[in-house]
Amino acid sequence: MSLFQKLFGGLLGRDKTPKNESIEDLRARWEQEAAERTAAVEASVRGWLVDTLRRQHRISFAWESGGDEGFINFPGFNKEEEDRYCELEEYLMNKLDIPSAGEFQMTGRGTLFLTDGVVRAKYSSEYREVVDFDEVKDEEVYGEPEVVEDDRILFAE
């Protein structure tokens, strides 16, 4: 590597990955960083979410993801708490492993609720993978849907 590449590579933030880091090491590091981000967001929304669930009893949500984007809607959310709902969206995307990158389409809906001091998410989703491209119609062709239903503990208060 030339002096020029070393200098500008370092200045531009390149070449920060150790040369001998394996794919498994990269994956483990990425998963650790994702877990840390999820824990930080959980710590931020935890008290607010428990208080909101005590008041409202349930929070409904629905999502769409795929094609390199994903978002969660909360029907009837309180506009005054929009920042909290944005944090809750990030938390649920990570905690429920809702993917966004890739050639697929996923929709889902669920409910957050508090039972015996435990915050839970009960949800169902439908995942459809792109299997072909119809050039005549200029659209993607999706395979058979995979349906998943789950009742997951998010955290205990």
Write the Ramachandran bin of 78: left for phi over 0, alpha for psi from -120 to 50, otherwise beta: beta
In angstroms, rounded to a whole number, what is the distance separating the alpha carbons of residues 139 and 69?
Answer: 18
Residue 4 has pLDDT above 60, yes or no: no
What is the widest separation between alpha-carbon atoms in the chain? 63
Which is more confidently placed, 4 or 91?
91
- How many C-beta atoms surround the C-beta of residue 85 within 10 A? 20
pLDDT of amino acid 154: 95
Does the residue 149 lie in any domain?
Answer: yes
143-153 pLDDT, tens digit per residue, is 899 999 999 99
pLDDT of amino acid 101: 81
Q: What's the per-residue H, E or C state across 62-128?
A: EEEEECCEEEEECCCCCHHHHHHHHHHHHHHHHHCCCCCCCCEEEEEEEEEEEECCEEEEEEEEEEE
In angstroms, rounded to a whole number, what is the distance separating the alpha carbons of residues 103 and 129?
Answer: 6
In whole numbers, what is the pLDDT of the chain averaged over residues? 86
pLDDT of amino acid 7: 47
Confidence of residue 124 (pLDDT cuts 50, 70, 90): very high
Query: What does the pLDDT average to over 70-91?
Result: 90
Residue 136 has pLDDT above 80, yes or no: yes
Q: Give residue 141's domain range.
A: 23-156
Does the residue 14 lie in any domain?
Answer: no
Does the residue 8 lie in any domain?
Answer: no
Residue 6 has pLDDT above 70, yes or no: no
pLDDT of amino acid 147: 95
Alpha-carbon 108 to chain mean position: 12
Angle formed at CA 80 by CA 74 and CA 81, multiple of 5 degrees:
55
Does the residue 2 lie in any domain?
Answer: no
Domain count, the chain: 1
Does the residue 119 lie in any domain?
Answer: yes
Query: What does the pLDDT average to over 3-25?
Result: 61
pLDDT of amino acid 64: 94
Query: What does the pLDDT average to over 71-86?
Result: 89
Does the residue 34 lie in any domain?
Answer: yes
In angstroms, rounded to a whole number, what is the distance separating the alpha carbons of residues 37 and 20?
Answer: 26
> How far lies 28's CA from each of 32, 33, 42, 98, 109, in Å?
6, 9, 21, 19, 30
Residue 120 has pLDDT above 50, yes or no: yes
